[in-house]
Structure 1
């Protein structure tokens, strides 16, 4: 049995840990959790170590968590094979930490968990191993504590936040993944090429590893993967997919918006990146609606039906005036705030540049994008946009402070915002919102 201090191992320590122990030191129960890519890589390493020279496809029995009963799992682990002397039963995505919600495919009952804990406490048959994988765990639950005491836990989790510490951890993980792939092919990769690949791929280990494999093949006999290779093989423009998403949303096209959302997640975009794009869009639309309210007091105009030439002649000059006043107000405010007290000897901090989000037309020489935003703003009421901003503000708080299903939340936001009935949120959630 492995020593108590080694019952929890980070994925990047796994190979080093296994090199320091014997097969007999590894408990027959293993739990791997975290990122899907790291789970698969950890499973390959631990299963190869446990089977040793007896590498045989009949030695591994794979079960799908959520569609297999606890009784079936225990039966499979307890059943001896006539073909191999060592046997691994792998249960993928086992819902050990989800509460049962009435359906047979969601979670296990308390009786199931008690039955399982009794089974592993009595002991798994000799030369039989049970490997469980799951994206998330709950260390407060008794089942986790039992597994941690009796088995080996491999931690493949990675911080998913947007703080510097989280981003640094993500980058470190990608460096580890890159190191293993490059070592396998006896190649290296310079920093410029690595930085470019990370920028193009984002924190998506599946995509990152696939792209790196392509680069290794493309580099041929060269020992180093270069920035030239990255530019030649890996192509992705982060702006265009985001533009497609927000443009479909402004059109209130649910199908297209969900399609582009799914595409962005598949390409490795973080939920907070997408959330920020929606926040910027909603703020821009609110800014436009505020302007059109003032404009419509003196002009009877339907922005949805106006043509581009009329917009340039009648509306664009007012837009430019609005932005000039805004810029003047910001400059005056900054000058006032920058006045230093004669008794204060501290050097003044450098002023931040004014954000383009405060302007209706950041590039007034190109009025057509402004025209499009004005037209599509007619698809939303002022109240709808305010409700949407409240929702996004709350979701931002939840993503940074707790564990929520970001994909489902954003999908629901899109469906409700693009529906004919309009988006309502603030009033019905006023007691649950996080006011500052």
Structure 2
């Protein structure tokens, strides 16, 4: 039996999709795909959608190819493998367990499973089965700005050079400030700049400011800032703008979960005396208790980029731990209601949530 299982994952959506497609085409050339390739959409915002997608993948994986020949299953854009709410559902766990068992049992020589996903819970039994028996390729943009930024700048400069365009460092910095670090956005904006410049091969700072669009990532930062600062009207306006730009309520509520998790942690550090504000910047205490505590954590918050850490601390400062915990619970509960089905539109549930968590402080 062969282990013809491939997982492409990471938060760089463009590179994940591109390399998964390359592997599909390598295994199954275009001329063969109508007979041998089955593509299953793994996009799922609700538990029922996830169950249906995994069930279809299991069925496709177990079905022999037409006329007994090669069979290639591409489980594409599997959006829920890092969604804690969906992944703890009993039916999802059962079906992923069946798929994991099939992977461990081994595939026939002419049987292939290719999966692409924006993220995977590496603690899950499913991920461990794929890691043990298959091949995993990860394409992640570093979480820390100071690590991601040089990669994005190098990628943009390389793309402009490939197109025969010249751009100085100041214009490149401004370009990345607008596009963000995601490869697809960078490539789209490079292509737009090429069309805009025409025969003129020199890109100026004025060109960047005129033609380059601000990324959804930057707008998403504006959204979480508005929520943290209880600016309800701005939060709803930016939320609707993000929906117009094809983001989903599920994706945005996951960002809110991360926001309130970080705010709660930093507020607790502040109350413990481990963290204090020094103007707009933060200062960590230096003692053994903190060293022992953070050494057990997967990521040390003291290594977070100073600008992001300072912003989180400034946003957390006006709240109490109790207030932040209550808001985090509201977000998690709404997320669970969204993925559990029901007739209430996600957008309405989200705006109701915003009204609750952006409510002004009560006067005593």
Who is 1:218 aligned against?
196
Is 1:81 the counterpart of 2:11 in the alignment? no
Superposed displacement of residue 155, structure 1: 1.0
Who is 1:285 aligned against?
none
Is 1:31 the counterpart of 2:14 in the alignment? no
For residues 251-287 of structure 1, the C-alpha deviation after alignment (integer angstroms, 9 at most, x for no partner) is 754xx53231454696999x69x979xx9xxxxxxxx
For residues 27-78 of structure 1, the C-alpha deviation after alignment (integer angstroms, 9 at most, x for no partner) is 5211122212332222233323333575746654221231535443133133
Who is 1:130 aligned against?
113
Is 1:68 the counterpart of 2:52 in the alignment? yes
Q: For residues 180 and 79 of structure 1, do their structure 2 counterparts lie closer, same or farther at Cα, with a shift above 3 Å needed?
A: farther
What's the C-alpha RMSD, in Å, of the aligned pairs?
5.1
Who is 1:113 aligned against?
96
Instruction: In structure 1, list runs of 5 or more residues that go unmatched.
Output: 2-25, 161-165, 280-329, 331-384, 399-403, 425-436
Distance in 1, matches of 2:157 and 2:73, equals 29
Instruction: In structure 2, list runs of 5 or more residues that go unmatched.
Output: 43-49, 264-278, 280-314, 336-349
Higher-Rg structure is 1
Superposed displacement of residue 149, structure 1: 1.5
- 1:257 is aligned, of 221, 235, 239, to 235
Distance in 2, matches of 1:28 and 1:41, equals 19
Q: For residues 264 and 117 of structure 1, do their structure 2 counterparts lie closer, same or farther at Cα, with a shift above 3 Å needed?
A: closer
Is 1:198 the counterpart of 2:176 in the alignment? yes
For residues 83-112 of structure 1, the C-alpha deviation after alignment (integer angstroms, 9 at most, x for no partner) is 985634224216456567699xx6744442
For residues 268-309 of structure 1, the C-alpha deviation after alignment (integer angstroms, 9 at most, x for no partner) is 99x69x979xx9xxxxxxxxxxxxxxxxxxxxxxxxxxxxxx
CA contact (8 A) 1:96 1:108 kept: no
Distance in 1, matches of 2:101 and 2:171, equals 52
Superposed displacement of residue 215, structure 1: 0.7
CA contact (8 A) 1:63 1:90 kept: yes
Bigger RCO of structures 1 and 2 (CA < 8 A, at least 6 apart): 2
Alignment of 1:267-286 (within 5 A): none
Moved more, 66-75 or 48-57: 48-57
CA contact (8 A) 1:207 1:267 kept: no
Who is 1:48 aligned against?
25
Alignment of 1:297-308 (within 5 A): none
Who is 1:231 aligned against?
209
Superposed displacement of residue 151, structure 1: 0.8
Q: For residues 56 and 62 of structure 1, do their structure 2 counterparts lie closer, same or farther at Cα, with a shift above 3 Å needed?
A: closer
Secondary structure at 2:319's aligned position in 1? Answer: helix
Is 1:158 the counterpart of 2:158 in the alignment? no
Is 1:93 the counterpart of 2:93 in the alignment? no
Distance in 2, matches of 1:388 and 1:412, equals 23
Distance in 2, matches of 1:203 and 1:154, equals 19
Distance in 2, matches of 1:111 and 1:386, equals 39
Who is 1:167 aligned against?
145
For residues 104-138 of structure 1, the C-alpha deviation after alignment (integer angstroms, 9 at most, x for no partner) is xx674444233222211222233332122233323
Who is 1:390 aligned against?
320
CA contact (8 A) 2:81 2:119 kept: no
CA contact (8 A) 1:88 1:129 kept: yes
Q: TM-score, normalised by structure 2?
A: 0.56
Q: TM-score, normalised by structure 1?
A: 0.48
Superposed displacement of residue 209, structure 1: 2.8
Distance in 1, matches of 2:24 and 2:158, equals 18
Question: Alignment length, in residue pairs?
Answer: 272
Secondary structure at 1:132's aligned position in 2? Answer: strand
